Amino acid sequence: MPFIRCRTFLGCLPLASGVWLLSLVGLMLGASGAAGSWMEINLMASHPLPLQDEIAQFVQAIVFSLLGLFSILGFAEGISQNRTFAFIYCKLIAIHYVTTIAAFAFTLYSTFRHVDSLTVASCIQGDLDEFAIQFCSKGWSFVKGLPIIWYIVILLVQAFGYR
């Protein structure tokens, strides 16, 4: 395996600082995405979704949570400058990138697939809360669009880190 020598990140930062910065951004994105996703899963207790949508919610929450956990390792590497942590963090983020693409595709399909109005009415259950109505409805809404935007930002940040 060839040895690639790299001393800078983004062309101007020392490598350890760059990894620390990238993991800090990943930690913020992963933690906030995970918090929102687990909040939506908590909402499923009172507003039941079809099984496929529930699976998509759990996959989304797990993917965001894993990014937060992996970023903690990168954050520790940036502080300790341990090459073993850097190698592990690099491989975990590469695996996570592929997993994020698959989860993003599944979330897009789940968000925009057609569902009959009876299923949506069953989920809403007469609730007048706008958050619950957006959560149960299909298509673009703030509740459905925010995770999609989060996925796009995460994919761009991870791809930028590997350029």
Q: 30 is in which domain, residue-wise?
A: 14-161
- pLDDT bracket for residue 78 (50, 70, 90): confident
Q: Which two tokens stand for residue 78?
A: 């940036």
Tell me the torsion sign for CA atoms 62, 67, 68, 74. Answer: positive
Query: Is residue 18 domain-resident?
Result: yes
- Read off the pLDDT of each residue in 61-76 and give the average, rounded to a whole number: 92
SS3 60: helix
SS3 1: coil
Percent of the chain with pLDDT over 90: 36
Query: Is residue 23 domain-resident?
Result: yes
Query: Is residue 31 domain-resident?
Result: yes
Query: Is residue 4 domain-resident?
Result: no
pTM: 0.84
Tell me how far apart the alpha carbons of residues 162 and 156 are, in angstroms, rounded to a whole number.
Answer: 10
Query: Is residue 143 domain-resident?
Result: yes
| Total of domains in the chain | 1
